[in-house]
Amino acid sequence: MIATTNGTPVSITGLGWQVPERVVTNDDLSKLVDTSDEWIRERTGIRERRFAREDEALSDIALPAARQALERAGIAPRDVELLIVATVTPDMVFPSTAAILADRLGATEAAAYDLSAGCTGFMYAIAQATGMIGAGLSRNALVVGADVLSKIVDMTDRSTCVLFGDGAGAAVIEPSSAEGFIGFELGADGAGGVDLNLPAGGSRLPSSAETVAGGLHYVQMNGRQVFKFATRVLVSSAQALLDEAGLAIEDVDVYVPHQANVRIIDHAVAKLGIPKEKVVVNVDRYGNTSSASIPLALAEAVADGRVREGDTVLMTGMGAGLTWGSALLRWTEAS
């Protein structure tokens, strides 16, 4: 799917983020598995990540991020009309974490649901929210991208446990007086789903003593295949959207790619031809926070002044599905 927005301008009017307190360094992980700080930094660019406490679930991390975004947008929880949580690590299979979060926030009037598109979830969710608002079906939306991957990664598997971290990012989306979202490009290749999945606990392989013993409730990943996919779609998705919007790469002021791995980001940056100073990178401090990665990076970049009034922001995510998605946004301070 590729489309540019038309009609009512819709934009982000408030951002928030939250990461758990517990910092886990590469040296900490080298006490659990046969790895080293040097290997992890060289192959991924990650220095440290945050892990939730044992008693901390997704909604505990999403709640402060959501509150912050609402405060910044000046919206009371009871006025939220649509609440989407993009995640692959909900508090439980059902009810949705969005419904749990709506209750904890006091967003009593909101339609609330979770969205599963792997690390691309936030991109899908902001596209949906923009469409709903643009069509007049909702006056606003609170979109949360959040994951606690540490809960579903095998801490004895060095090929996955070093990559991920926990976090939450949130955005309030509303009609805007200025331009806001310019367009989206979203896609999925289910045939590649086997390269990044969590096999058990669904209706295909219900939970059993055997699935637990087989480690099938943990993330399974074919790292090389995912690497190839990621480097391809980060470039093709961004280029397709820029073409559709009639923009060139030179028109992009800030690039916020999915924070999976510095090597993947560097590859995309080189292929797209974006100067490094325009690229937002925080994977070194947080690892791959899945659905939280893009909103977390965007919120930090806005907070420290790297995104300014009128800037054209390009965001591209990719992840389990396999899925990918890009958004172009003209940033407005009023937003």
Q: Are 294 and 122 in contact (CB under 8 A)?
A: yes
| Min dist. Cβ of residue 140 to ligand COA (A) | 29
| Min dist. Cβ of residue 234 to ligand COA (A) | 11
| Min dist. Cβ of residue 223 to ligand COA (A) | 3
Give the CA count within 13 Å in the CB-facing half-sphere of 125: 35
Instruction: Say whether residue 150 binds ligand COA (CB under 6 A).
Output: no
Give Cα separations from 265 to 75, 188, 257, 271 (angstroms).
Answer: 35, 20, 7, 10
Instruction: Say whether residue 119 binds ligand COA (CB under 6 A).
Output: yes
Instruction: For residue 183, give every residue at least 6 positions away whose Cβ sits within 8 Å of its Cβ, in sequence order, or none.
Output: 2, 3, 4, 5, 241, 244, 245, 327, 328
Pick from 105, 104, 113, 86: nearest CA to 295: 86
- Tell which positions 245-264 bind ligand COA, by CB under 6 A: 260-261
Q: Among the options 26, 197, 261, 288, which is catalytic?
A: 288
Q: How many residues bind ligand COA (CB under 6 A)?
A: 20
Can 258 be counted among the known catalytic residues? Answer: yes
- 326's tokens: 């890009």
Instruction: Say whether residue 149 binds ligand COA (CB under 6 A).
Output: no
Site track 16-35 with ligand COA (rule: CB under 6 A), x = hit: -------------------x
Q: Among the options 140, 197, 258, 261, which is catalytic?
A: 258
Can 119 be counted among the known catalytic residues? Answer: yes
| Min dist. Cβ of residue 8 to ligand COA (A) | 32
Give me the sign of the Cα torsion angle 199, 40, 150, 166.
Answer: negative
Given candidates 20, 134, 287, 319, which one binds ligand COA under the rule CB under 6 A?
A: 319
For every residue of 66-107, DSSP letters joined together read HHHHHHHHT--GGG--EEEEE-SS-SSSSS-HHHHHHHHHT-
Binding site for ligand COA (CB under 6 A): 35, 39-40, 43-44, 119, 158-159, 162-163, 221, 223-224, 226-227, 230, 260-261, 288, 319
